[in-house]
Amino acid sequence: MEEWQKLLAEGINTPAQLVKEFPHLDEQMVKAISENFRVRINKYWLDLAKQSGAPLLKQILPDERELREDVGSGCADDPLNEEAQSPIPNLTHRYPDRVLFLISHQCAFYCRYCTRKRKVSDAEQINRSNQTAAIEYIRSHPEIRDVILSGGDPLMLRDEELESIVSRIRAIPHVEIIRIGTRMPCALPQRITEKFCTTLKKYHPIFMMVHFNHPDEVTPEAKEAMERLSDHGFPTMNQAVLLKGVNDDPEVLKKLFHKLLMARCRPYYLYQADLTKGTNYFRTTTEKGLEIMRALRGWTSGLAIPHYVIDAPGGGGKVPLLPRYVLRRTAKETVVRNYRGDVYRYAEVQEGCEDMLPAMAAAAGADAAAGPEAAVPGALPVRSRMTVTKLNGNGKHRVNGTNGTNGTNGAHGAHGTNGTNGSHGANGTNGTNGAHKTKHVNGSAGHGTAPAPLTAFDLAAAKRLT
């Protein structure tokens, strides 16, 4: 038996073992929960979680709220509609060029927030019976260039079993990339053996999509496992889930992402928690997620910043969520806000302007000589094909038309309240002199979509625009 298999065997695998270790838990409740979704905590993580405390324990200890219906929450057994998008059981074909292939029902511990808890830990649900059909499906669909192996955790399979699946997929000429979704480097890093790496590296490119949620999970053992993967040519990318009481704090996540980078792992996704039945108590608001992203962008290196996404309920796929950095977009300019809240304008390239360059340069020079007041709207496309101009803070470029009332000086009623994100003449009023005189109500017309409610951060930036 290998070390990782011993750690699994020595861990908690039954409700009785769990209650013995955590006597505050009610055994009947644990039994009722584990009938739907098993309990398991391997010995490595049990020791780690007990030492670390609440953020790690919450991820693995059953909670009576798992049994609640959460009426009105929108939670469902299969929130991402994977079953309906599976032409073969356990093979989901949602996006044009890639498939998700579930090959293992087991994990090194069972995360209580698991999106796939309807079938993970259940050998009836994920087994080998459809594997040949799934691989045939991939072979007969030349558009599939990326195969994501998941489960459960594929690394719960023995090396030989995993190699058998991976080698058959690698033999399909149109499959370019194989990804393996695994929590093992975090959950049981002893699984990342030299033998495992040398067995699978023959089938590169294989990306390891790992799953760390909290900085305490990046232990010396986990770091060593990730480095071993990297040394054998497996890029590692982290997919964290935003979880209430676990990591819903910018400082916690920043520390996690920094530690991952030190282990040569790229923070790739930060998922908004899915609408999975029995996991409602882990969910945060999306505003909390956006607040965290605002606290990261610019304040640490871009390498440390993942994409914050919602996996759209019903199977719509991943949708990125971004703080509001674009305040306004028109054919002439884009007004943006940086990480400090400072506002800048970027002039769009104007079709057919090339012939005008000498005259434009001259006009720009004349404007500059005339002082800041002359340098605003009329000359904007002339001077700024190559510049991004800071709007606030220095008073040089005052854009008239305040608070959504009439834009009196040509630049689209520069507003200050609703309707950011690329619309112009926001908040239901007209920009009188600009190219965009159309009346837009609350920013819903024009280039933008219906705006989200403004935050204090938006209002501060908008104020600087006026």
Residue in 116, 118, 119, 191 annotated catalytic: 116
Q: Interface with ligand SF4 by CB under 6 A: which range of 2-10, 63-71, 103-111, 340-348?
A: 103-111
Residue in 40, 44, 78, 107 annotated catalytic: 107
Q: Interface with ligand SF4 by CB under 6 A: which range of 108-116, 270-278, 396-404, 421-429?
A: 108-116
Shorter beta-carbon distance to ligand SF4: residue 40 or 440: 40
Shorter beta-carbon distance to ligand SF4: residue 109 or 308: 109
Distance between CA 20 and CA 160 in Å, rounded? 35
Give yes or no for residue 116 binding ligand SF4 (CB under 6 A): yes
Q: Nearest approach, Cβ of 114 to ligand SF4 (angstroms)?
A: 3
Which tokens belong to 464?
């600087």
439: CB partners within 8 A, 6+ apart: 425, 428, 429, 430
- Closest Cα partner for 426 from 307, 335, 315, 365? 335
Strands annotated E in 378-420: 388-390
Residue 27: phi, psi to the nearest 5?
A: -65, -40
Tell me which residues in 212-251 interact with ligand SF4 (CB under 6 A). Answer: none
Q: Active site includes 197?
A: no
Shorter beta-carbon distance to ligand SF4: residue 66 or 367: 66
Q: Active site includes 170?
A: no
Query: Residue 408's CB: how many other CB atoms inside 10 A?
Result: 14
Q: Classify 109 as helix, strand or coil.
A: strand
Q: Active site includes 114?
A: yes
Q: Nearest approach, Cβ of 441 to ligand SF4 (angstroms)?
A: 43
Q: How far is CA 318 from the centre of its chain?
A: 8
Residue in 40, 94, 183, 191 annotated catalytic: 94
Shorter beta-carbon distance to ligand SF4: residue 107 or 309: 107
Give yes or no for residue 110 binding ligand SF4 (CB under 6 A): yes
Shorter beta-carbon distance to ligand SF4: residue 209 or 382: 209
Q: Nearest approach, Cβ of 274 to ligand SF4 (angstroms)?
A: 10
234: CB partners within 8 A, 6+ apart: 197, 200, 201, 204, 206, 207, 208
Give yes or no for residue 120 binding ligand SF4 (CB under 6 A): yes
Q: Nearest approach, Cβ of 126 to ligand SF4 (angstroms)?
A: 10
Give yes or no for residue 111 binding ligand SF4 (CB under 6 A): yes
DSSP string, 304-315: G-PEEEEEETTT
Q: Active site includes 265?
A: no
Give yes or no for residue 4 binding ligand SF4 (CB under 6 A): no
Q: Classify 419 as helix, strand or coil.
A: coil
* Binder of ligand SF4 out of 11, 15, 62, 152 (CB under 6 A): 152
Amino acid at 210: V
Which tokens belong to 159?
């090396």
Distance between CA 83 and CA 181 in Å, rounded? 19
- Count of CA atoms in the C-beta half-sphere (13 A) of 49: 25
Q: Interface with ligand SF4 by CB under 6 A: which range of 109-117, 369-377, 417-425, 454-462?
A: 109-117
Q: Nearest approach, Cβ of 281 to ligand SF4 (angstroms)?
A: 16
Q: Classify 73 as helix, strand or coil.
A: coil
Separation in Å, CA 78 to CA 71, 83, 194, 261: 16, 7, 37, 33
Distance between CA 155 and CA 106 in Å, rounded? 9
Q: Active site includes 318?
A: yes
Cα R_g (the chain), whole angstroms: 27
Q: Interface with ligand SF4 by CB under 6 A: which range of 73-81, 146-154, 320-328, 356-364?
A: 146-154
Q: Active site includes 98?
A: yes
Give yes or no for residue 114 binding ligand SF4 (CB under 6 A): yes
Q: Nearest approach, Cβ of 253 to ligand SF4 (angstroms)?
A: 18
Shorter beta-carbon distance to ligand SF4: residue 153 or 333: 153
Total of chain residues touching ligand SF4, rule CB under 6 A: 10
> Would you tell me the crossing angle of helices 220-231 and 250-262 to the nearest 10 degrees?
50
Q: Nearest approach, Cβ of 211 to ligand SF4 (angstroms)?
A: 6
Amino acid at 77: D
Give yes or no for residue 281 binding ligand SF4 (CB under 6 A): no
Separation in Å, CA 298 to CA 215, 254, 305, 347: 20, 12, 9, 22
Q: Nearest approach, Cβ of 37 to ligand SF4 (angstroms)?
A: 8
CB 313 within 8 Å of CB 277 = no
Amino acid at 370: A
Give yes or no for residue 153 binding ligand SF4 (CB under 6 A): yes
Residue in 98, 112, 277, 383 annotated catalytic: 98
Amino acid at 346: Y
Q: Active site includes 283?
A: no
Q: Interface with ligand SF4 by CB under 6 A: which range of 105-113, 157-165, 319-327, 350-358?
A: 105-113
Residues that bind ligand SF4 (CB under 6 A): 107, 110-111, 114, 116, 120, 151-153, 183
Catalytic positions are 94-95, 98, 107, 111, 114, 116, 274, 311, 318
